[in-house]
Amino acid sequence: MILVAGSSNLDFVVRAERIPCPGETVLGQGFRTFPGGKGANQAVACARAGAATTHFLTAMGADNFAPTIEASLRDAGVVAHVVRSDSEPTGCAFICVSADGVNAITVAPGANSLLRPEHLPALAGFSHLLLQLETPLPTVAAYAQAARQQGVIVVLNAAPAQALAQQLLDNVDILVVNEGELAVVAGHQGNVADCLRHVQVPNVIVTLGARGCCARTPTEVIAQPAFAVQAIDTTAAGDTFCGVLVAALSQGAHLRKAVRVASAAGAMACEVPGAQASIPCASDVDKFLANQSEDSETSLQMLRSYCGVH
Ligand code: RIB
């Protein structure tokens, strides 16, 4: 079994030609709400990957937003453990998506800020714990420590970016970050290889958007070029990557295979609007991968050279 612990948000999404600059107003072209939140998205991705039973620990308000998110979790087959707050509303995210699919997100955490160390369920039977940073840092650190003490593999997606104590990182087996998050966690500016030298976690995966991703383990560096898709909304592409990655690892996949499947699923999530609404199921990812050719030597070389790895 896999446990995902983290945020649930209702996403308020408006599409616009471009994302406004500070102080600017742009006219958008449509408004929709979607179930979101990095934690909930990753739980849905894990469950849709169909590997192991996915449990999800989260906090929501006693309001009209929560049932939409709970229904989405249920439809995906996630077993939800919801801490209910009477004082804080369900988390909300305000998202602007530009014509080229890029987003800017502001989160009002609401009930997500109430998730506490004592809410962690018994970990017996769980092989992996997947965490993000949209819930309080002391809670994330306590969950990682409890999991480590009980032999559960800890995967941390350090998003949104923040500097992290080595005490927390010492309890992380696999860190997943994008390039900006890597620089913040590393406390260093430079290319991917430079920044990786400053991160003391055994396995680090850096997602690089349309370039692909790069994974550094104690014994190897894995480069996975991106799969070409028509991106209309990149929201939850990273969450899809994390959830599918952990699902594949829980089935015993080698990291190289897990990264490839996760990359394919993340790319597919960019082709559909919304967060949880865009996350593909395992059979669709399998079909997508069956139609892809081997990564070319040129694309591998370009990615390795961008990252500064050889
Ligand atoms: O990663 C995408 C998610 O970030 C959105 O669903 C939004 O809720 C924010 O948490």
Q: How far is the CA of 275 from the centre of ligand 1 (A)?
A: 7
| Cβ contact 210:226 at 8 Å | yes
Q: Which letter, b or e, does each residue of 161-180 get, where b requires 16 or more Cβ atoms within 10 Å of its Cβ? A: eeebeeebbebbbbbbbbbe
Query: Are the CB atoms for 36 and 252 separated by under 8 Å?
Result: no
Separation of alpha carbons 139 and 167, rounded Å: 13
* pLDDT tens-place string over residues 157-181: 999 999 999 999 999 999 999 999 9
Query: How far is it, in rounded angstroms, from Cα 295 to Cα 138?
Result: 41
* Per-residue tens of pLDDT for the chain, all 310 residues: 999 999 999 999 999 999 999 999 999 998 999 999 999 999 999 999 997 899 999 999 999 999 999 999 999 999 999 999 999 999 999 999 999 999 999 999 999 999 999 999 999 999 999 999 999 999 999 999 999 999 999 999 999 999 999 999 999 999 999 999 999 999 999 999 999 999 999 999 999 999 999 999 999 999 999 999 999 999 999 999 999 999 999 999 999 999 999 999 999 999 999 999 999 999 999 999 999 988 899 999 999 999 999 7
* pLDDT one-digit tens code per residue, 181-203: 999 999 999 999 999 999 999 99
* pLDDT per residue as tens digits for the range 234-254: 999 999 999 999 999 999 999
Determine whether 239 is an active site residue.
Answer: yes
162 in any annotated domain: yes
Give the number of the atom of ligand 1 that is nearest the alpha carbon of residue 10.
8
Residue 25 lies in a domain: no
Distance CA 204, CA 185 (A): 11
The answer, yes or no, to whether any atom of ligand 1 lies below 6 A from the CB of 38, is: yes
Is 21 a domain residue?
no
Residue 59 lies in a domain: yes
Q: What is the residue range of 281's domain?
A: 2-9+36-90+113-307
DSSP result, 192-250:
HHHHHTT---SEEEEE-GGGEEEEE-SS-EEEEEPPP---S--TTHHHHHHHHHHHHHH
The pTM of the full predicted model, rounded to 2 decimals, is 0.97
Model pLDDT, residue 51: 74
Element housing 153 (H / E):
strand 153-157
Asked whether residue 137 is domain-assigned, the answer is yes
Pairing of strands 103-108, 91-98: antiparallel
Q: Whose CA is nearest to atom 8 of ligand 1?
A: 37
- The answer to the question of residue 212 being in a domain is yes
Residue 122 is assigned to a structural domain of this protein: yes
Counted domains in the chain? 1
The answer to the question of residue 17 being in a domain is no
Residue 157 CA to residue 242 CA, distance in Å, equals: 7
Summarised one tens digit per residue, pLDDT across range 278-290 is 999 999 999 999 9
Gap from CA of 17 to ligand 1 centroid (Å): 20
Q: Which residue among 11, 239, 284, 295 is the active-site one?
A: 239
CB 76 within 8 A of CB 101: no
Give the domain CATH number at 245: 3.40.1190.20
